[in-house]
Amino acid sequence: MLVRDVMTERVFTVTRDTPLKVVATRMLEYGVSGMAVVEDEEVLGVVSETDILFKERVAPDRKGVVDWLVHYAEDPPVAKLEARTAGDAMTTPAVTIASGRSVEDAATLMLDLRIDRLPVVDGGCLVGIVTRADLVRAFARSDDLIAEEIRSEGLLKRFWVGPSSVTLEVDGGNVVLEGRVDNEELAESIVAFTERIPGVVSVESKLTWPKTKRRHHEKATA
């Protein structure tokens, strides 16, 4: 499954000069927790609820250089505390993803970078946004849809394995693969592909393959 299959095409955006108060109002109005900051269709950054919450904090009164150095990593960024516009408050550079990337890639980015959303960009232009909620919805899809993707995108298109060779059952996201394939490497590739399908909880492989016969070479005697 690709990012384009789960992303939201309607993206609420603001410009660099949009007042922060307006940004907060629009987030509440649209029911979103973050907005892309865009200029000439280019994503400059993302302003989120977290960025706005910095305005609720007060810069700590540090006593001297040593106190400042000791607590440096704990203190909020001054620029965000003093932000007045979306451009001041936004997190930049924006972490984006192409619509043709996999859902697995999107999930990895979000987890590794601890972010909740990714603007989707194709050819330098914003075409959508994908959030953690979108990925959760993909994970929650039905067993029938999961099985269909494994069959059509994996077994048939990628591995050229027909239903007469490999059968599968999906129950609560738990997949059982059964059948006979050409070799062990192909069996492992099918399992690895299946494990990456959104909504798959576990994979049990009952795949078999022909065992390679060992060739015995007799030493020639003089």
CB atoms inside a 10 Å sphere around CB 132: 16
- pLDDT of 82: 74
Structure confidence at residue 93 (pLDDT)? 87
Q: In what order do the strands lie in the sheet with 202-208?
A: 166-171, 174-180, 202-208
Give the pLDDT score at 76. 54
How many whole angstroms separate alpha carbon 138 and alpha carbon 90? 28
What pLDDT does 52 receive? 83
Peptide bond into 76 cis (omega under 30): no
Res 69: pLDDT: 47
Confidence (pTM) = 0.69
Cβ neighbours, 10 Å, residue 7:
21
181/207 Cα distance (integer angstroms): 7
Rounded average pLDDT per 10-residue block, the chain, 222 residues: 91 92 92 90 88 64 48 54 84 91 92 91 91 91 94 93 92 95 94 93 94 58 47
Question: Residue 58 — φ and ψ, nearest 5°?
Answer: -120, 140
